[in-house]
Amino acid sequence: MTSDRYGVFDDAAREYVIERPDTPLPWLNYLGQDDLFGLCTNTGGGYTFWRDARLRRLTRYRYNDVPLDSVGRYLFVKDGASIWNPGWKPTKTPLDRYECRQGLGYTCIRGVRDGIEVELRFFVPLGQNVEIWRTTVRNVGVEAKDLSLFSYAEFCLYEALNDMTNYQRTYSIGEVEIARGGAALFHTTEHRERRKHVTLFGCTREVAGYDTSRDAFVGIHNGLHEAAVPFAGRATSSVAHGWNPIGSHQVDLHLDPGAEETFSFVLAYAEEGGTPAGLAVLDRYADPAVVDEAFERLRAFWDDLLSRFQVQCPDPHVERMLGTWNPYQCLVTFNLSRSASLFETGIGRGMGFRDSNQDILGFVHLMPGQARRRILDLASTQLSDGTCFHQYQPLTREGNADIGGGFNDDPLWLVVSACAYVKETGDTSILSESVGYADLPGSRDDLLHHLETSVAYTLGRRGPHRLPLIGHADWNDCLNLNCFSTEPNESFQTAGDVEGAGAESVMIAGLFLYAVRELSGLYRHLGRPDDASRLERERTQLLEAVEAEAWDGDWYLRAFDAGGRPVGSRACDEGQIFVESQAWCVLGGAGAHDERARRALGSVLHRLTTPDGVVLLQPAYRRYRVELGEISSYPPGYKENGSVFCHTNPWITLCWCLLGDGARGLESYLAICPSTREERIETYRCEPYVYAQTIAGPDAATPGEAKNSWLTGTAAWAFVSGAQGLLGIVPDYDGLRIDPRVPGSWDSFHVTRRFRGTVYEIEVRNPNGAGHGVSSLTVEGRKIDGNLLPSRADGGPVSVEVVLGSRTDRGRTATAPATTRVATYDRP
Ligand code: BGC
Ligand code: NOJ
């Protein structure tokens, strides 16, 4: 453990190989893709839950503990006097060799010490409510060994918040059942008629003993690293009555040199059928061949999913992120929204309305059927006036009123996701699916009308500058312009707003321009030009308001506060420029004809761009401003107050692409790309294989430090910015549009794309360095006009050849903005 790097990408295997356990932070992975999910760090830390991380938590996690992940899937090895863990924790006994392979839906940890190698492969078979710990123990030394292994899983009493806060209750109600001599340990707390579920922690091999009481296994005054039973070398057959039920098996092994044994521990959740159902699962996975076959099916599942989009291009980061890790993260964010990670506790936050709608953008090409269901679920949490529950609980699908509301951007994201779904699939039947409104039980409306309700919501709520009212906040949760909070004990997010306050959001205006253009395009596709024109008229009016009221001279304002004063203006002393309004006004088509778009982007480049990405605003707020809210309460350079809030960066990448500047687009794409961070990992700290929500900005005490990895809208937008913005493989209503914006230095690239059931092999050449503009498009050897591949039903593969280099590029320009880029942010 002396090397100065922590790991390396194994691109062929689609794994990140962590080579030392003492990573700058625990590096997380996820197990499961259907109902049962596990969080698994590179030392085996983390927990497992079924469907809802709060309501059905199967194993326990201890928050705010030191070290950060101090409970998990642990296996203790007792080899003579030496007690160690293959994943290093919790004993941290030095290993001769350690490796953790974080793969797609599995984690494989291997530890070697004194001639014994233990390999643990954690995964959840497709469609099954079981987490398998496939265990292989090998004698790689020269002496025969007698070993004892002790497994460890700590049960959670199902409702995670109660489990960690209500000991007067929980310490008396915990129950277990022991079967098969301790090989099958059941957690049966509250297993009565009302609750049918049980959890099994089982071992497929004969056991020499067991424990189910944490106090007996660990010792009342011990930490897990000094757990009593492994150090004593004998299980105690303890039975938990209340307190803290756990599962632990003792497995004794005699291994001659060269010998090995493979078996599994299984953590199974039986929703129905009680303990017999658990035993049936244990029997099924007793055969290692069944375990291996389930693992191969998981691998095949991912190979198939990822085959929908693959790229070969001159940049290895683009290849590996778009080909493997980014879609993987998109699937996880789609499944979990913002509920459970090392930064999201799995307790407070359910499925976010705006978050889940945006997650669909990066996920819809992977599993369109699931995206369809999600869009309809989300629509059903909309209220009849267009507002939306900001969040809902996945298990109950009930809107969560306790976490606040009035985020006036929310409704428009439904339009964006629904249009993206139709563009991907061509399936317009979703628009006539009937969905009710959350405030009118039994009501029915079709999805298309929900989208109209969203548009009407924004149109009906405009302020003195004819711009949309922000409500409690827009995409930026912390821009609370109507709340005026002076009460130290209230949450900004749930604090009420001043009655009738009229702060306006330029970002929502830009989002409206974008969403309505999507929807009018949909109407044209549906053959409803009158509806399209109606929307376009509304759009034109709002665009006029934006250009008349929201241009600050070199960039777009961010908002008008409740007193009508501009936010994000050169007239402000802090918070002079924000990224969100530049991004959304430009993406929405503002400033397209009079250089404003390019000037706004030039300002982003000059004022907000750092080597770590684009910061959210500048200068950061240094004192609390009651008229702005939570944003000004954060320390400068962190979170919404001027970090590189990664979610916004792909928007800027898309803007560069829209302006035809592929070189800046790629630069912007790479600036937040985690795989570029390996060299600066001591500073960056988070996983180099998935995006984080924030990277501390130049105003922070720890610039370059990432936080909140995994569950962030960055994932979906990064995919869109790379696949559609840069590579220009753009689903459209009438087919697949080819519109690349790559750096002039790229000779060529190749994309494999499955679209509406047909596989396209798209070879793009860039012979004269233009990087954009399709000058010729050849499909199966025949030239076609334009840049649209019409959909076809033959399955393919269809070979497509694209040559870039048109001079006109349909009115867009590739020239760089007038301003020059600064290498580091220069403070005004
Ligand atoms: C965070 C935001 C988050 C919001 C809602 C704020 O404290 O800074 O990023 O979206 O809470 O949970
Ligand atoms: C995180 C939230 O999940 C997301 O909805 C929000 O847009 C960003 N924070 C910015 O505040």
**DSSP alpha helix (H) spans, 307-429:** 316-320, 326-336, 353-363, 368-379, 410-425
CA of 630 to the centre of ligand 1 (A): 9
Three-state SS for 401?
helix
Rounded to whole angstroms, the Cα distance separating 637 from 620 reads 6
Confidence band of 402 (pLDDT split at 50, 70, 90):
confident
Confidence band of 349 (pLDDT split at 50, 70, 90):
low
CA of 691 to the centre of ligand 2 (A): 14
Q: Give the mean model confidence (pLDDT) for residues 380-396.
A: 89
Which residues 6+ apart lie within 8 Å of 702 measured at CB?
Answer: 683, 696
- Tell me what pLDDT residue 826 has: 35
> At residue 106, what is the residue type?
Y
Confidence band of 728 (pLDDT split at 50, 70, 90):
very high
Three-state SS for 828?
coil
Structure tokens at 146: 């007698």
Q: Cβ distance 152 to 248 under 8 Å? A: yes
E strands present in 243-375: 245-255, 260-270, 309-312, 351-352
pLDDT at 398 over 90: no
Ligand 2 near 606 CB (within 6 A): no
Rounded to whole angstroms, the Cα distance separating 332 from 342 reads 14
Rounded to whole angstroms, the Cα distance separating 190 from 158 reads 9
Q: Cβ distance 234 to 250 under 8 Å? A: yes
pLDDT at 119 over 70: yes
Cα–Cα distances in Å, from 748 out to 257, 309, 310, 323, 727? 53, 17, 14, 17, 11
Ligand 1 near 477 CB (within 6 A): yes
Nearest CA residue ID for atom 4, ligand 1: 477
As separate numbers, helices (DSSP H) first and strands (DSSP E) second, the chain gives 20, 42
CA of 285 to the centre of ligand 1 (A): 42
What tens digit of pLDDT does each residue of 566-603 get? 999 999 999 999 999 999 999 999 999 999 999 999 99
- Tell me what pLDDT residue 277 has: 96
Confidence band of 20 (pLDDT split at 50, 70, 90):
very high
- Residues annotated catalytic, as ranges: 477
Query: pTM surpassing 0.75?
Result: yes
CA of 308 to the centre of ligand 2 (A): 29
Strand ordering across the sheet containing 735-738: 729-732, 735-738, 788-790
Backbone angles phi, psi at 313, to 5 degrees: -155, 175
Nearest to 745 by CA among 768, 764, 776: 768
For 223, how many CA atoms within 13 A lie in the half-sphere containing its CB?
A: 11
Confidence band of 24 (pLDDT split at 50, 70, 90):
very high
Ligand 2 near 598 CB (within 6 A): no
What tens digit of pLDDT does each residue of 471-485 get? 999 999 999 999 999
Rounded to whole angstroms, the Cα distance separating 455 from 453 reads 5
Three-state SS for 95?
coil
Rounded to whole angstroms, the Cα distance separating 621 from 182 reads 59
The ligand placed nearest to the CA atom of residue 493 is 1
pLDDT at 807 over 80: no
Among 344, 347, 483, 493, name the best residue to mutate to test ligand 1's pocket (greatest count of ligand atoms within 8 A of Cβ). 493
Ligand 2 near 354 CB (within 6 A): yes
The residue among 243 and 396 whose pLDDT is bigger is 243
What tens digit of pLDDT does each residue of 764-779 get? 999 999 999 999 999 9
Long-range contact set of residues 424-430: C-beta below 8 Å, sequence gap at least 24: 424/364, 424/365, 424/368, 424/371, 424/731, 424/755, 424/756, 425/364, 425/368, 425/372, 425/756, 426/733, 426/756, 426/791, 427/368, 427/372, 428/525, 428/526, 430/372, 430/375, 430/376
Nearest to 767 by CA among 789, 745, 751, 741: 745
Q: Cβ distance 681 to 6 under 8 Å? A: yes
Express as a percent the part of the chain with pLDDT over 90.
91
What tens digit of pLDDT does each residue of 621-643 get? 999 999 999 999 999 999 999 99
Q: Cβ distance 728 to 666 under 8 Å? A: no
DSSP single-letter state for residue 181: G
Backbone angles phi, psi at 601, to 5 degrees: -65, -35
Confidence band of 810 (pLDDT split at 50, 70, 90):
very low
Helix 326-336 to helix 288-306 angle (10° resolution) is 110
What tens digit of pLDDT does each residue of 170-221 get? 999 999 999 999 999 999 999 987 888 999 999 999 999 999 999 999 999 9
